[in-house]
Structure 1
Amino acid sequence: MIEWFTAATWSPYIVGAGIGVLIWTAFLLSDRPLGCSTAYAKTAGMVETAVSREKAETMPYYQKFTPTIDWQWMLIIGILIGAFISAYISGTFSLLIVPPVFAEGFGIDPLLRAGVALIGGILMGLGARWAGGCTSGHGISGTLQLSLASWIAAICFFIGGIVVAGLIYGFPFI
């Protein structure tokens, strides 16, 4: 059994079932869906509050979603800690400025990598806010609740991912 925890990859079926149990447990114990994109928006609100409290307090978004550290923020910290523990236990932990897949496709320039990561992060954040949630919020929690908007968002996430991966790495199925 311990070998399973130290494996570099896990069965997607077992992980999917585990995520299902996790979301059921989250709803049972906290009556809240899993999702973390709002935490990033709240973090931006905390920065805005530190720069200009009056301006931040007048923004309708921050009136609805108070810029505070809450359970979603703790979820992000848990993801980071869990990812580190998993990589460490499996023996795959390493610090990379430019991952091999990116280096192979675009070169080893760390500034290019940082720029692409920044632009990608901004686009993902804007998309998550525009869609009213992130992949975990819509794809896991929303679809579990049979939300039509979440099903549409999750389908669009997959289509967008396939199209972008095809544009970057080529479409092997065409």
Structure 2
Amino acid sequence: MKSKAWLKPYVYGALAGLLLVLSVAIAGQFFGTSTSYPRMATWLIDLIGIDLGYLAFYQVRDGALTGAAFPNWQLLFVVGIGLGAFLSSMATKTFKAERLPPMWVDRFGDRLGLRVVHSIFGGILVMVGARMAGGCPSGHGVSGVSQLGVSSLLALTMFFVGGIITARILYGRRSS
């Protein structure tokens, strides 16, 4: 099932654009993922019985960023991203399970705990940054840019610049 179409990103860009048009036309919703995480976190906090409803965060847009709006279509989008990536890797026979990426092992060694701590800390930083930017790369990059949003073009540029700088700091310059 490995065809050249699997290797052409512009095919998937066009499909993502069509899916975005359908999503807006049918459901009135643009793409984005970062809001799912605070919604899930506040839903879990509410589930265990901690009342944080007095915080301003819980009152923004009548609780639209909290567990009150969870689960919703965006959760399905987040799950679909992971599931779609897994299924496409299985379909193209490119799936490969790794304990640690070779690039990480070369730079930091084979300590899984260190990788987990860095991943959690990095994930928190990325989520805080995405919320400060008013959205994530998928939200700004696909939905915002499709609307020619200047703030989305700027945010997307900063996501890339930040990623390049971080990769250079962590891994240095590599030709391979």
TM-score where L is the length of structure 2: 0.86
1:61 equivalenced with 2:63 (yes/no): no
Whether contact under 8 Å (2:86, 2:95) holds in the other structure is yes
RMSD, aligned α-carbons: 2.0
Alignment match, 1:95:
97
Aligned to 1:26, the other structure's residue is in SS state helix
Alignment match, 1:11:
8
Structure 1 residue 79 displacement after superposition:
1.1
Q: Extract unaligned runs of 5+ from structure 1.
A: none
Q: Extract unaligned runs of 5+ from structure 2.
A: none
Structure 1 residue 44 displacement after superposition:
0.7
Alignment match, 2:106:
104
- Number of residue pairs aligned between Structure 1 and Structure 2: 169
Whether contact under 8 Å (1:35, 1:134) holds in the other structure is yes
TM-score where L is the length of structure 1: 0.87
When structure 1 is superposed on structure 2, of 40-49 and 14-23 the one drifting more is: 14-23
Alignment match, 2:17:
20
2:57 alignment partner AA: Y
When structure 1 is superposed on structure 2, of 106-115 and 94-103 the one drifting more is: 94-103
Alignment match, 1:29:
26
Whether contact under 8 Å (2:40, 2:66) holds in the other structure is no
Identity score, percent = 34
Q: Give the Cα separation in 2 of the matches to 1:89 and 1:6.
A: 13
4+ residue runs over 6 A deviation: none
